[in-house]
Structure 1
Amino acid sequence: MNFVHNITAIFIFAPFLAFIILLFLSRKKLKRGAIGFSADITTFLLFLSVPVSVEALWGVNISFAVSVTAILMAMILLVLEWKKTKEIEILKYVRKTWRLYFLLLAAGYVIIWLTGLALTVISF
């Protein structure tokens, strides 16, 4: 059980490690869709990783803010999609929204860790 806990902790603090591992494992079977599949799975980890990283660095819990922001983004994207097409393809809409979450959370993760690294270097 301790092994599973350690692996989970590593992937939460380093979700891009999971992205790279998934990419290499799924590349042979999925070929074209390997990056998308890896991004989809990594998005789950990023939803955990970004709030945990902020809490570890600054002691602020932003889990609720991340969840509310994701819901508001989904609602805004749904309205935009509805105005554009009038008939929404659910799977296509969910895929677009989920990939946007990946991009935004990945950018947030990188910014958080670069800021944390800079603060650590400055404190020395």
Structure 2
Amino acid sequence: MLTNILGALLLFPFIILVVLIIVAKKIGITKKKRIGWAIDWTTPFMVLTVLILIRAIWDVWLPILLIGVLCIIAIGFSIMERSREKEFRTSWVLRRTWRAYFLLLTVTYFLLFVIGITLQIIRYVN
């Protein structure tokens, strides 16, 4: 039972996102910061979900790829911050990197979900 619940939470990280938004409301986080706070805490689950989906579809384990993508996003935001501002704001770069990573992982999650379902249908038909 517990394994099924944990599996569902890992495969559907948006359940975690919704629960965290509700928790943020209950603990009194302002409306403006609520979504960002929930996204910040959901991102690690999204990383695990994408890794699990990649493993399930193609039977490869690619954590280095996801870490590399995170580093490239951080480098891009660092370059933007350095060229735009006189003083480098590390917290701004880290926050933007983490949230952009969440968006990228969300798109990847949906693409992998569609690809996985499509491949299963093709295997079933053949």
TM-score interval for Structure 1 and Structure 2 normalised by the shorter chain: 0.7 to 0.9
Which 10-residue stretch deviates more, 39-48 or 9-18? Answer: 9-18
Residue equivalent to 1:50: 50
Which 10-residue stretch deviates more, 20-29 or 59-68? Answer: 20-29
Q: Counterparts in 2 of 1:17-96, with a 5 A limit?
A: 17-28=15-26, 29-30=28-29, 31-96=31-96
Runs of 5+ in structure 1 lacking a partner?
A: none
SS in 1 for 2:45: helix
Instruction: Give the aligned length.
Output: 122
CA RMSD of aligned residues (A): 1.8
Following the alignment from structure 1 to structure 2, what is the Cα–Cα distance between the partners of residues 114 and 11? Answer: 18
TM-score normalized by structure 1? 0.86
Equivalent residues of 2:51, 2:61 under 8 A apart: yes
Report the Cα offset of residue 116 of structure 1: 0.7
Following the alignment from structure 2 to structure 1, what is the Cα–Cα distance between the partners of residues 69 and 86? Answer: 24
Following the alignment from structure 1 to structure 2, what is the Cα–Cα distance between the partners of residues 80 and 92? Answer: 11
**Are 2:11 and 1:13 aligned?**
yes
| Letter aligned with residue 84 of structure 2 | K
Report the Cα offset of residue 7 of structure 1: 4.5
SS in 1 for 2:87: coil
Following the alignment from structure 2 to structure 1, what is the Cα–Cα distance between the partners of residues 5 and 74? Answer: 31
Report the Cα offset of residue 6 of structure 1: 5.1
| Letter aligned with residue 40 of structure 1 | D
Runs of 5+ in structure 2 lacking a partner?
A: none
The share of aligned pairs that are identical, in percent, is 28
